[in-house]
Amino acid sequence: MVLFDAHAHYDDDAFDADRSELLASLPGAGIGYVVNAGADESSSKASVKLAKEYPFVYATVGVHPHSAAKVTPSYLDVLKKLSKEEKVVAIGEIGLDYHYDFSPRDVQKKVFDAQLSLAEQLSLPVVIHEREAIADTLDILAAHPNIKALFHCYSGSVETAKTLLKRDNYFSFGGVITFKNAVKAPEVVAFLPNDRLLLETDCPYLTPVPHRGKRNNSRYLSFIAEKAAMLRNVDVLALSEQTTQNALEFYNIKA
């Protein structure tokens, strides 16, 4: 069983003590691919560095909505330059977060829209972070009809997923689907077409049961795969193959 971790943050400080050893161990644990997500200029550069160091690691570059108010005047030029690196596969993670509002909403929308335009210019897909901001997210996406998007850690409803499926959108899910109090995410996992589902850890965050409370890492992706397979009433090997293929197609990675 080969799994694809579609969204991780191995540049995070939580991995400073054992990053190299942990990453080196992943292929032996059945993790065939990892996409490390950028969240600002610094982490985007770190993601590219990790992708250069490990053959199974790929990178996205972008500015998270939490960091939108901190962008430099040259941030788009920085992202554009980074995007030229061989293993950069998407612009992300970008989007809107109205739960925390760490950046003013008008600034979030401006930075999100600008990065969507950059992705269009570069013919790259985007990885979207959306929290309690679906209406504005849809409005901004409507101005970019050619964008292919992955809604990472999707937290919306089945009805919203149906709307998003009318476009070229994908959905990834992590440890949340294993939580006892999870409702909407498991429903969407069960509902989605086979070719639109991806798996992720979002590590070091959102550790799945039975390791909830510990630092997350890609070795726990198998617990997420098992839960998703149960929700969809399919064999876990078949689900692993399908979600890996979906991720390869979304990120345009040649296996």
- Which tens digits make up the pLDDT trace of 206-223? 999 999 999 999 999 999
Output the pLDDT for position 250: 98
CA 149 to chain CA mean position, Å: 10
Q: pLDDT digit string (tens) for 153-210?
A: 999 999 999 999 999 899 999 999 999 999 999 999 999 999 999 999 999 999 999 9
pLDDT by residue (tens digit) across 117-155?
999 999 999 999 999 999 999 999 999 999 999 999 999
pLDDT-derived band at 255 (thresholds 50, 70, 90) equals confident
- Domain boundaries defined on the chain: 3-251
Query: Exposed e or buried b for every residue in 85-113, given b needs 16+ CB within 10 A?
Result: bebbbbbbbbbbbbeeeebeeeebbebbb
CATH of domain 3-251: 3.20.20.140
Q: What is the pLDDT of residue 177?
A: 98
Q: 96 phi and psi, to 5 degrees?
A: -135, 140
Q: In DSSP terms, which residues pair with 233 in a beta bridge?
A: none
| CA separation for the pair 5, 219 (Å, rounded) | 9
CA distance 103 to 121: 25
The pLDDT value recorded for residue 168 is 86
